[in-house]
Amino acid sequence: MSPTEKRNLILAFESSCDETSVAVIEDGHKILSNIVATQIKSHQRFGGVVPEVASRHHIEEVTLCIKDALDEAKVGYEDLDAVAVTYGPGLVGALLIGVTAAKTVAFAHNLPLIPVNHMAGHIYAARYVEPIEFPALALLVSGGHTELVYMPAENQFEIIGETRDDAAGEAYDKVGRVMGVNYPAGKTVDEWAHQGKDTFKFPRAMEKDDNFDFSFSGLKSAFINTTHHADQIGETLSKQDLSASFQQAVVDVLAEKTKHALADYPVHQLILAGGVAANQGLRERLERDLQSNPTTHLVKAPLKLCGDNAAMIGAFAYVAYQHGVFADATLNADPSLEFDWAADSVK
Amino acid sequence: MKILAIDTSNRPLSVAVLDDATVLAAITVTVHQKHAEYLLPEIERLLAMAELKPTDLDRVVVAAGPGSYTGIRIAVTTAKTLAATLNIDMVAVSSLATLAANVPVEGALVAPIFDARNQNAFAGLYRIKNGVPTAVIADTHTDVADFLAAVNKYGEPVWFLGDAANFSDLIATTISAATPAISPWLNLPQVATIGLLGQKLTPVSDVDRFVPNYLRLTQAEAEWRAKNPEEDTESYVEKI
């Protein structure tokens, strides 16, 4: 970029669940600021996210996050090129705070407004590692979603497989609760898993089926039955071995399905993203699997950008900006927003 | 002083733009309750008609609750973001007082009521003093019968507004004094009125920390506080 060329600056908002976040992103790949106010401590009182409580926290934080994001980036409204916001999927009341605030800022300063799908944002956290090369495949794993997304070209997303019941992160939280771990349980279960062994051999659901869908409810039930039975006969099971067995089953299913998908969809990059992408067991397994793959290399979303944040929203917003994808002042939250299914998928 | 006033506390959406004591444009809509979708376009339209830009605004006046939780959050998020981003004043008015302001009768007792289901309501009792609704019974979330019994103790005619028609039988049997019949128009917020009143009110000192007046804890929070009475409830959100 020549010094005379103006940099593109996007003010991005994210409020789909329990984090209020505002970021300033330069040219889609440089984070000037990424303010994240997390409500985890609040929801831990209740053992999980309470939607009305989440909405109430977002409205407390949102304008402070805007100010901090601009201050830290050392830019003013006059420097901005656009405002971007997550408009779904997520909790409707939570989404509405970010959407309303972003729309209002865009209106007040006469800036274009870019609507961003939260899942596209998660994928574009990988943009902070390296440019995305197409075609690409993304394994998106979070508390609310588990899906394989094929990207034939920039700004094109097609679901080729998704969970039929629980999301992987949801299953982590549920088995965590059984072992006395508060939400979000992923990190602790991951740590215990590394100290234990897969002794319980829980079922791997749909691993061999001829599709790219996932299922974790059977695994969760097997886990609960095992611990329940042990409780009844007064036996104490190793949390480390339980965690290792659970995690091994989750990772096997995710990795096997991804391997099948890569066989049908040859791509340059496999992108691992979403909150559960921070899981060390999953990261290590995919690294190993991809070592022997001559054509596809693994791009893992940076650990600190796996959870919800506005920097990832700004990264994809830059792509949308180039493609002229804008919303007007009627933009609403869409809690069940999702990518289209691939036309030739074996759903 | 250029003022924008907004209320989306319940089904009606009401927006007005004023220049000092002159109402430039005002609108109240009841045909839908899609405030997230329609509030900002209506503000855009009204400002355009008034030939004003957002940056021309000096003050935003908002009906800040009680009401529908989502509704009051949309109005307050819009108001506080406008105030913060344009560095202008924000004035918050009770959504019940906003309705009470519809009664232009000096000295009148006015009881705005929002139906909160199961014989509960958000309600308050106001006296119109020098043209301004002044709280006599503070806004509360209450059993409707209890509220009406408290109102009846004043032994004066009372103007019932808002969703009062939902409780007309109870009002008829509880209130012994007169209850003047009113135009249905007065049951809807007309925010030009709080736009006028809001010019004289003190702006909110900390816009960033301002939250709607829900008048109710969430169920989860209430249960948690009952079990943990000594815990500080202020520091549950942290920057990471």
Contacts of A62 in chain B (CB under 8 A): 77, 80-81
What tokens were used for A302?
């940076």
d(CA B225, CA B223) in angstroms, rounded, equals 6
Question: Letter for the amino acid at B65?
Answer: G
- Domain positions in chain B are 2-95+189-218, 103-187
Predicted local distance difference test score (pLDDT) of residue A6:
86
Of chain A residues 3-22, which have a CB less than 8 A from chain B? 20
- Please determine whether the domains at B2-95+189-218 and B103-187 fall in the same fold group of CATH: yes
Q: What is the pTM of this model?
A: 0.95
Q: Which residues of chain A neighbour B220 with C-beta distances below 8 Å?
A: 45-46, 50, 52-53
Residue B14, beta-bridge partner list:
B7, B28
Q: Which residues of A touch B54 (CB under 8 A)?
A: 107-110
Sign of the C-alpha dihedral, residues A316, A322, A323, A329?
Answer: positive
Q: What angle do CA B175, B179, B185 make, to 5 degrees?
A: 135
Interchain pair B224, A45: CB under 8 A: yes
pLDDT of residue A347: 47
Contacts for A288-296: CB closer than 8 Å, 24+ residues apart: A289/A255, A289/A258, A289/A259, A293/A262, A295/A266, A295/A267, A295/A268, A296/A137, A296/A262, A296/A266, A296/A267, A296/A268, A296/A269, A296/A270
> Which residues in chain A land under pLDDT 50?
1, 346-347
Which chain B residues are Cβ-neighbours of A305 within 8 angstroms?
Answer: none
Q: Shortest Cα distance from A47 to chain B (angstroms)?
A: 10
A93 CB near a chain B CB, below 8 Å?
A: yes
Of the candidates B78, B214, B240, which has its C-beta nearest A104's C-beta?
Answer: B78
Beta carbons of A83 and A62 less than 8 angstroms apart: no
Grouping H, G, I as helix, E, B as strand and the rest as coil, residue A215 is coil
Q: Tell me how far apart the alpha carbons of residues A110 and B225 are, in angstroms, rounded to a whole number.
A: 44
Closest CB to B237: pick one of A42, A63, A97.
Answer: A42
In this prediction the ipTM stands at 0.96
Burial of B147 (0-12, 13-18, 19+ CB in 10 A): buried
Q: What is the pLDDT of residue B231?
A: 78
pLDDT at A131: 97
Strands (E), chain B: 2-7, 13-19, 22-29, 59-63, 89-93, 109-115, 120-129, 132-143, 158-162, 238-239
Question: Where does B103-187 sit in CATH, by number?
Answer: 3.30.420.40
Q: Which residue bears the tokens 């709280």? A: B135
Residue B109, pLDDT above cutoff 70: yes
3-class SS of residue B77: helix
Distance CA(B112)–CA(A300), nearest Å, equals 57
One-letter amino acid at A294 equals P
SS3 A104: helix
Handedness of CA A278, A280, A285, A290 (dihedral sign): positive
Do A330 and B37 make contact, defined as CB atoms within 8 angstroms?
A: yes
Q: Do B69 and A93 touch (CB under 8 A)?
A: yes
Please give the mean pLDDT across all residues of chain B: 95
Count residue pairs from A and B with Cβ separation < 8 A. Answer: 128
Contact B214, B69 (CB under 8 A): yes
CB contact (8 A) between residue A93 and residue B70: yes
Distance from chain centroid for Cα A120: 9
What local confidence, expressed as pLDDT, does residue A240 receive?
A: 97
Handedness of CA A10, B80, B25, B18 (dihedral sign): negative
The angle at the Cα of A276, spanning A25 to A282, to the nearest 5 degrees, equals: 115
* Parallel/antiparallel/unpaired status of strands A158-162 and A340-341: parallel
Task: Choose among B74, B218, B237: nearest Cβ to A100.
Answer: B74
Using a CB–CB cut-off of 8 Å, the residues of B that contact A are 34, 36-41, 43-44, 53-55, 69-70, 73-74, 76-78, 80-82, 84-86, 207-209, 211-212, 214, 218, 220-221, 224, 228, 235-240
Answer yes or no: do B237 and A60 touch at CB < 8 A. Answer: yes
Whether the CB-CB separation of A108 and B55 falls below 8 Å is answered with yes
What is the percentage of chain B residues whose pLDDT exceeds 70? 99
Give the pLDDT score at A208: 73
> What's the pLDDT tens digit per position in B62-105?
999 999 999 999 999 999 999 999 999 999 999 999 999 999 99
Distance CA A64, CA B83 (A): 12
Name which of A84, A70, A58 is nearest B77 in CA terms.
Answer: A58
Is A96's CB within 8 Å of B70's CB? yes
Strands of the sheet with A19-26, listed across from one edge: A113-117, A82-88, A9-14, A19-26, A30-38, B238-239
Question: What is the pLDDT, as a whole number, of residue A5?
Answer: 75
Out of 3.40.50.2300, 2.30.40.10, 3.30.67.10, 3.30.420.40, select the CATH number for domain B2-95+189-218. Answer: 3.30.420.40
**Which among A37, A45, A97 has CB closest to B239?**
A37
pLDDT in the model for residue A122: 97
The verdict on A53 touching B (C-beta cutoff 8 Å) is: yes
